[in-house]
Amino acid sequence: MASLTTPSRASGPAGYDVEAVRREFPALAQAVNGHPLIYLDNAATTQKPRVVLAALRQYYERDCANIHRSIHTLGERATEAYEHARRVTQRFLGAGSAREIVFTAGATAGLNLIAQTFGRMQVGPGDEILVTAMEHHSNIVPWQMLGQEKGARLVAAPISDAGELIWEEFERRLTPRTRLLAITHVSNALGTINPLRRLIAAAHAQKIPVVVDGAQAVAHLPVNVAELDCDFYVFSGHKIYAPTGVGVLYGKSEWLERMPPWQGGGDMIRSVSFEATSYNRVPYKFEAGTPNIAGVIALAAALDFALQLGLEASAAHEERLRQLATERLKSIPRLRLIGEAREKVGVLSFVLAGIHPHDVSTLLDQQGIAVRAGHHCAQPLMDRFGVPATSRASLAAYNTAAEIEALAAGIAQVQEMMS
């Protein structure tokens, strides 16, 4: 891969060459509806760099075999690549051991796994599970299902008009009945960065374990689970340049050892008879069946790519773009930004007076600009702000200032067309 740190006129922070970054993503070179693609839907999924596509090709063209089963050469190569990905992920998250890394189908699968194993151990009748008003449905529904099964109650800590957690209200909801805190690191609809260390410390002071939904954080912020001291952390690979259908669940070893398996099948067992089954060791007891081998291998390539890019450098670049986008969008008449937290990543949700977000997205798409429209799987959050949906522009390491200017001009054009 070419150097991504050579300065150029397109650079943002010193040494960050966004044009070099863009050249690593083939999809960005295309035209959409007769216009150069401006891809601003990165909170939904990111585009994929050449190294990730190459990793997929190598597995399917050269090393395609099942893992942990075969002793032939292809099987051994595939197994080593898969387990190498576990070690890469461990380092990426700052986990203490590769045994603490479980591969899943995504953040949603990870949250459901925790709810159906750890949650069933932890939660009982009359207990409470604490979340926030800014959670994605994936960090609401599994806990509701668990609560319905166990006779427990879901409690949501409120947020301010700026989209920030109200600390006093959060503390008030940490009670002796709270058995679990499940919280997003970064809001997918607002971009708000939650103060995780403070939240986790407050929960742990009352011996409350903490589950973190990191789907929107890992591509934009350095994450160290040991320093955060969270009990669980989940994310989806496709939010950080990896393929869809692969994700990660980090869990502290002491919890993973105590948790029962979630699914039964091959590779999660030591031995099986009709009388009894003994389970494999951690983390394999949570990885039943043939996994997404190619996806996991490509995930490692994506994480290595993000590290080479430099999460701090790319975050500084994205922050410069976010500030520019905020300034440009706030200057547009009849545009309302939803969520203006002091600490946030490059997610800009907005509504235009008199124009439905779906129409905004459709008309921007005609200009080659891809943004998201809808409730963003955060309907309680939309209710909090009194809107059924928003338009959402979300940034990645490959976006540019010129694209932000095009977005602002495109929105103005939408207003003209709909007036």
- Counting residues of the chain whose pLDDT is more than 70, the rounded percentage is 97
Cis peptide before 283 (omega within 30 of 0): yes
Residue 1 lies in a domain: no
Residue 415 banded pLDDT, cuts 50, 70, 90 = very high
Task: Enter the tokens of residue 309.
Answer: 């890019």
Question: Helices in 117-224 by DSSP H: which ranges?
Answer: 120-122, 141-150, 167-173, 196-205
Beta bridge partners of 102: 249
Residue 2 lies in a domain: no
Chain segment 56-77, per-residue pLDDT in tens: 999 999 999 999 988 899 999 9
Q: Is the dihedral of CA 236, 315, 164, 340 positive or negative?
A: negative
The answer on pLDDT for 148 being more than 50 is yes
In angstroms and rounded to an integer, the radius of gyration of the C-alpha atoms of the chain is 22
Chain segment 156-188, per-residue pLDDT in tens: 999 999 999 999 999 999 999 999 999 999 999
| CATH code of the domain in which 133 resides | 3.40.640.10
Residue 7 lies in a domain: no
User: What backbone phi and psi angles, to 5 degrees, belong to 12?
Assistant: -100, -105
* Segments forming the whole domain that contains residue 78: 53-307
Residue 12 lies in a domain: no
Chain segment 305-351, per-residue pLDDT in tens: 999 999 999 999 999 999 999 999 999 999 999 999 999 999 999 99
| CATH code of the domain in which 403 resides | 3.90.1150.10
User: What backbone phi and psi angles, to 5 degrees, belong to 102?
Assistant: -115, 130
**Which are the catalytic amino acids?**
377
**Same domain, yes or no, for 39 and 169?**
no
Task: Enter the tokens of residue 414.
Answer: 């939408």
Number of domains present in the structure of the chain: 2
Beta bridge partners of 153: 128
Dist CA 292 CA 246 (whole Å): 7
pLDDT for the residue numbered 1: 46
Domain finish residue from 256, 276, 307: 307
**Same domain, yes or no, for 94 and 237?**
yes
- The answer to whether 388 touches 382, Cβ cutoff 8 Å, is yes
Domain finish residue from 238, 273, 307: 307
